[in-house]
Amino acid sequence: MNLEQARFNMIEQQIRPWDVLDAHVLHLLSVVRREDFVPPAYQALAFVDMEIPLPAGQCMLAPRVEARMLQDLGVQKHETVLEIGAGSGHMAALLAHRAHSVLTLEIDAGLAAMARTNLQRAGVHNAEVRHMDGSKGCIADAPFDVIVLSGSVAEVPTALLAQLRTGGRLGAIVGDAPVMRATIVTRAAEARFSSTQPWDTMAQRLLHFPEPSHFNF
C-alpha cells in the first residue's frame, strides 16, 4: 500500500469535496500521520471514508468529519481546547497542532492509555490525556476557548457551554439517527449564545450524556 498516495487521495477525494478548503487544515492532514493512530488490525483502512473501530466498542470519526470540524471551529495558536472522547488521540493531535494546548478526556482507561502513547510517539507535547468521564467537562481547568465533542449527543450540553470563555466555540454532532447535524455554538457574551448547523453527518454516541425521553403523555 502506497501510504502517501492513499493520504493524497483521502484529502483530494474525501476532504476537499466536503468544503474543507482551509490550506492550513489540508496541510495538517498531510503531515499528521493518521495511520499511526489506527489499531494495527485496521491499518489498511486508515484513509477510508468510514468510522474505524477502536477497543471498548468505540471508533475514530471519519476523516472528513474530523477535518470539517477542525476547519469550522477555527482554532487559533493562542487558544486552549477541551476535547471529549480522546479515542485513539488523532483528533487531539490535529487540534494540538492548531492550539496552544489541548486537554482530552477519555472515559475508557485502555483508550486513554492508547491515546497517550500515540500522541507521545507522534511528538505531540501540548496535548494531555486524562482518564475521566467527560460528560460534565472539566470545571477545574475551565474556561476553554474551544470545546470539541468527538462523537454525537442528543442535545447540546449546557454544562459544557458554561465552561466556554466569551468568544469561545463548542463543536458537537447533535441529534438522533438517521439525521444528526454538526452544531457550532459561539458564546457571544456571558449569557448570549449563537449557533449554526452547517452540515449533516452521523457519529457514534458519547457515553453518559443526557438522552431526553421521546414519549409524549
Q: Lay out the sheet containing 101-106: strands in order across.
A: 127-131, 101-106, 80-84, 144-153, 164-176, 179-189, 192-201
Domains of the chain with CATH codes: 3-201 (3.40.50.150)
Using an 8 Å Cβ cutoff, are 92 and 124 in contact? yes
| Band of residue 113 on the pLDDT scale cut at 50, 70, 90 | very high
Average pLDDT, the chain: 96
One-letter amino acid identity for 131?
A: H
Cβ neighbours around 180 below 10 Å, total = 20
Q: What percent of the chain has pLDDT over 70?
A: 98
Q: What is the DSSP string of 136-196?
A: T--GGG--EEEEEEEEEESS--HHHHTTEEEEEEEEEEEEETTEEEEEEEEEEETTEEEEE
Say how many CA atoms lie within 13 Å of 94 toward its Cβ: 31
Q: What pTM was computed for the model?
A: 0.96
Compute the distance between CA of residue 46 and CA of residue 38 in angstroms, rounded to an integer.
6
Residue 46 has pLDDT above 70, yes or no: yes
> d(Cα 53, Cα 41) in Å, to the nearest integer?
10
Q: Is 129 helix (H, G, I), strand (E, B) or coil?
A: strand
**Span 41-60, average pLDDT:** 95
Q: Report pLDDT digits (tens) over 64-87.
A: 999 999 999 999 999 999 999 999
How many C-beta atoms lie closer than 10 Å to residue 87's C-beta? 28
- pLDDT at 215 (0 to 100): 55
Three cell numbers written together for 88:
485513539
Residue range 185-203, pLDDT digits in tens: 999 999 999 999 999 999 9
